[in-house]
Amino acid sequence: MTSPDSCFDISDSGFGSAAESTPCPTPYPTRSTSTPVSTLRTSSASDEQYERTLWRHFPGWAFSERARETRCWAWQFGYDIQKEDARRWICRACIRKNNPHPRHFEADGIHNAYNHLFNDHGIRAPPGMTQGTAEKKANSKGRKPPGQRTLAESMKLDLHDPREQAIANDFIKRFDKEHFRRLLIDWIVAKNHSFSIAEEAELHAIFDNLNPSVSARKANITHTTVREKIVAAFEQHKQKVIEVLGKAPGLIHISFDGWRSGNRYALYGICCFFRDENNKPCKITLGLPEVSARHTGPNIAAEILDVIESYQIQDKIGYFTLDNAKNNDTAMEIIGGELGFVGARRRGRCFGHTLNLSAKAILFGHDADAFERRVSGAEPLTEAEHLIWRKKGPAGKLHNLVVAIHRSDLLTGMLRNIQQEAFNKSSDPKLNARKPLDVILDNDTRWLSQLYMIRRALLLRDYIERLIAHHRIDFEQQNKAKRGGPKKPLTLPFICQPENQLSDKDWEVVEIFAQILSYYEAMIKMIEGDGQIRKRKRGWTGSYGNIWDVIQGFEFLLEQLERFKDIAKDFPDTEHFRININLGWQKLNEYYEILSETPIYYTGLALHPAYRWKWFECNWTDRPEWIDEAKNMHLHSTSAVQAERDKTDGLQPLLNMQVKNTQLLAAAD
């Protein structure tokens, strides 16, 4: 934030001197906690000179030693001095301008300082803070404050010249205050800025430089105005959304999930997917309610139902897509009961979340979720937590290593230097041009984050091994006794202890993990999306996130895991691989079987013209009872569709019947 001093002596900043006509922007002061001098900036030669001028005018006085914080913004623009029981405000601008009679006022008459700052220096009160009578009077009459330039002055236009007068008037008429505010709010919302950025003095200075009409027309806004206008815009456009949803010819499908903001707001994002009256697929966010109570199924359901009812779509609700959290089971049961359907039959499960659970089972074994909750990596690892991770095998040991490097500036810097030295010594121009890379830390929120951690570690393996060797040498050299002999045995850093280092066998294991998880990654990329047809980067036109791909995705991954189990005998630590791959297979199969609760998965695949029932007959040849069950579910689903048509003019048809031109296995490779 710009200090008050910078308004009066720009030449001190090293950016050049300011023209006399340049207005002084109003800074936004920070409240002091001691004397005002300590809040401004570190003392410099010029500061000392100004203070000598101050004491020359006020001999016998000293800086104030007031105990309480002051809330008056004028103190940020003045010196706070005292003499016995008297306390005065001395204008800092007057002292800096070497005014022979610097203005000063008793502390009890601080409002006089407001008027002086406005009248003599053109300094306004910050937004939301007390204005002096002079500023209030000027505002009521529309008079510009001293030092504020008009548009004509800023553009150096002669208003006595008809042509230049016309130019000035044209610019003034073109400025639309409300449009300016809308653009400002759009930018704040789109870039997720704090609402208070609208009050920043530096931003106001940019606006005034571009168009003085911003200040002249009082177009700047406060953070409270930003919020009020956002809420007003939401309410204004909500009715339009209600009308569009009301005209939607098919069912409206819902997705919701919870998220906690950095400032501890527990929010639920609620989105819907539908066809508009022109049969164009659309999606829109309906709300972001806060769930301040416990995140139980009933509490979640209550918030979701409130939002649904506020848009008057309770009679048009189709299917839900949710993650696999248990409280969502209860929430769907309550929502279905309120809206007249069986919640489980309308509940789709987030495929990416399911794959992530299976991937964790492969990496960390039994009850991987409980393990991650126990040691989430949110804080530096204790020795006990370090041991827990290490017991999870090569992936856990790699996690320990990455955490240690990631959280140490020293180790991160050493890793970068080792890479840079290698690049500089290489005769390969491509290597010379490379930039050092950092390790990637896995986390419990990004899907397959362990895969990206492993890939980066494999890429940096040689440099990481050199780092460990250098770190151990440095540690031992720093702990030698003065006589040259070693001190009593010291505990090596975690990454230097032999039991915490990855052996060649361990690196082979994590490399095979990366191969397995690459199939999961390909499947997630295939299923992620909103089902809308678009032209893709590689030139083909199609869609991702289609419901008929889910069953095929399960079959594809289960087949790959079976293949890896068969060849596990060729891997290091064969038994460990067999167990963990089987755990990943079981997790996938668990959610595959649950698909039967939601018939739309089978109906979507059966109705696709490229698949129909032939797909089931070809892929489930040895499970005829599965085919019969799928057909029964399909018949039940179509009967339910007919019932819904009587209420809603028809079910949303399956869109985008284009077959993928890329095979899943090829995508993984």
pLDDT in tens, 557-593: 999 999 988 887 777 777 777 888 888 999 999 999 9
Kindly report each contact of residues 9-18 with a partner whose C-beta sits within 8 Å and lies 24 or more positions away, as own/partner: 9/46, 9/96, 12/44, 12/46
pLDDT for the residue numbered 245: 95
The pLDDT score that the predictor gives to residue 469 is 92
Average pLDDT over residues 350-364: 88
On the question of pLDDT at 26 being above 80, the answer is no
pLDDT at 519 over 90: yes
Look-up of token digits 């668990």: 590
User: What is the pLDDT confidence band of residue 130, given thresholds at 50, 70 and 90?
Assistant: confident
| pLDDT value, residue 68 | 56
Side by side, the strands of the sheet bearing 86-91 are 62-63, 78-83, 86-91, 104-106
Q: Looking at the predicted structure, is the pLDDT value of residue 664 above 50?
A: no
Tens digit of pLDDT for each residue in 447-478? 788 999 999 999 999 999 999 999 988 888 88
| Percent residues over pLDDT 70 in the chain | 80
Q: Which of 313, 270, 281 is nearest to 533 (CA)?
A: 281
- Could you give the CA distance from residue 93 to residue 120 in angstroms, rounded to a whole number? 10
Angle at 321 between CA 316 and CA 600, to 5 degrees: 70
Q: How far apart are CA 241 and CA 236, in angstroms?
A: 10
**Among 403-412, 520-529, 581-590, whose mean pLDDT is lowest?**
520-529
Residues 100, 53 contacting (CB under 8 angstroms): no
pLDDT band at 147, cuts 50/70/90?
Answer: low
With a pLDDT cut of 90, the percent of the chain lying above it is: 37
Q: What average pLDDT does the segment 489-518 reach? A: 86
| pLDDT at residue 379 in the model | 43
Q: Select the highest-mean-pLDDT range: 365-374, 577-586, 656-665.
A: 577-586
pLDDT band at 79 (very low <50, low <70, confident <90, very high): very high
Q: Which of 304-313, 597-606, 644-653 has the lowest mean pLDDT?
A: 644-653
Which one is predicted more confidently, 18 or 613? 613
pTM: 0.65
Whether 182 has a pLDDT exceeding 50, the answer reads: yes
By CB atoms closer than 10 A (0-12, 13-18, 19+), residue 505 is exposed
Residue 378 exposure: Cα atoms within 13 Å on the Cβ side: 7
Long-range contacts formed by 561-569: CB under 8 A, 24+ apart: 561/516, 561/585, 561/588, 564/516
Please state, in angstroms and rounded to a whole number, the distance separating the CA atoms of residues 371 and 368: 5
**Confidence band (pLDDT; 50, 70, 90) for 490?**
confident
Indicate the domain borders of the chain: 4-148, 153-227, 255-349, 374-523, 545-554+565-668
Model confidence pLDDT, tens digit, residues 330-355:
999 999 999 999 999 999 998 888 99
Specify the 3-state DSSP secondary structure of 569.
helix
